[in-house]
A and B are shown apart, each in its own frame.
Chain A
Amino acid sequence: NAGVTQTPKFQVLKTGQSMTLQCAQDMNHNSMYWYRQDPGMGLRLIYYSASEGTTDKGEVPNGYNVSRLNKREFSLRLESAAPSQTSVYFCASSPSQRGVAGYEQYFGPGTRLTVT
């Protein structure tokens, strides 16, 4: 049972380049999340998907887009990378359903992104 997996583990981009971070979970969870973690700022929610086919903005969505490809996969795209997007990105999933909050959140190992 792999849990939550993320690819790639590390990435270096130049300003203006684009890339997609991939996330997959094999726990049949309904909800999936993308966070970024910066020193002194804690974890901040970028986007989340409460269920397949739905996505919602979190606290810091600007400069990002997401796709909930199916129940297993949730990708995060940077269309034109900026140095301010240098961060560690975590994907998470939870069994929670829309209207029924709760349950645990499970995290992937993270992607370390540097934008020069």
Chain B
Amino acid sequence: KQEVTQIPAALSVPEGENLVLNCSFTDSAIYNLQWFRQDPGKGLTSLLLIQSSQREQTSGRLNASLDKSSGRSTLYIAASQPGDSATYLCAVIGSGNQFYFGTGTSLTVIP
């Protein structure tokens, strides 16, 4: 069974700092990896989707990388802002059409 781990569980940084969130998975036979953002009491919003054939994806201040062979992905957030405060989740999908989620990293950006 696929296991997805996110470290750290919580992170607090001052505004303007660049930061990296980590996601690791045990089964490298994945098709996609997707990063989400979840605000308190809300649903999940998709941030970036990386196909298994890709190494990275970028959207604005966000950059996600994927290394399938080592079972790792990172989400890089540049010039963090208080509005970036949220929980960030990664999910992988492999054969069987099932998504497996990590437990998330709770990010607080201090003004």
Contacts and interface: CB of A to CB of B under 8 A. Distances in A.
Interface of A: 31, 33, 35, 40-45, 48, 50, 58, 90, 92, 96, 98, 101-110
A56 to B, nearest CB: 8
Contacts, number: 59
Interface string B44-76: 111001010000000000000000000000000
Contacts of A96: 93, 97
A96 to B, nearest CB: 6
B34 A48 contact: no
Interface in B1-54: 31-32, 34, 36, 42-46, 49, 51
B43 A90 contact: yes
Contact of A101 (B31, B45, B46): B31
Nearest to A97: B97
Given A102-B32, A104-B34, A104-B49, A40 B98 contact: no
B94 A110 contact: no
Interface in B85-105: 89, 91, 93-99, 101-104
A50 B98 CA distance: 9
